[in-house]
Amino acid sequence: MSIEHVLPRNPKPASRWEQDFTPEEREHWTHRLGNLLLLNRKKNSQARNYDFARKKSGYFTTATGSAVFALTTQVLTYDEWTPATVEARHQELTGLLIKEWELT
């Protein structure tokens, strides 16, 4: 198992990532919880810097169209991966952790 950055750490120039995220947004969101999911190591190394649609269809699902890990399954419901998407997912996940760990 490994951690996948949906928004890649080093997107290719002129990629969809460069269009959807400013440099500041990429710096802010790349390593945050809302941008991360679990993949097996083989799929993670194959996913690379591909755009979201390709990652989602080719690497985040199994042959049956489902995901192996719950955090990955959540991502399959999104049609796009934008700063607003990452922020919403980040807020949802951190809220769940705060509630579960009784941090408030």
Tokens 């996948």 -> residue: 4
Coil/strand/helix, residue 21: coil
Label residue 36 by pLDDT band (50, 70, 90): very high
Q: What b/e sequence results for 49-64 when a residue is b if at least 16 CB atoms lie within 10 Å of its CB, and e otherwise?
A: ebbbeebbeebbbeee
Q: How many residues does the chain have?
A: 104
Domain count, the chain: 1
Give the H or E element holding residue 4.
strand 2-5
* Range of the structural domain that residue 10 is part of: 2-100
Higher pLDDT, 24 or 39: 24
**Mean pLDDT score of the chain, rounded to an integer?**
91
User: Is a pLDDT exceeding 90 seen at residue 53?
Assistant: yes
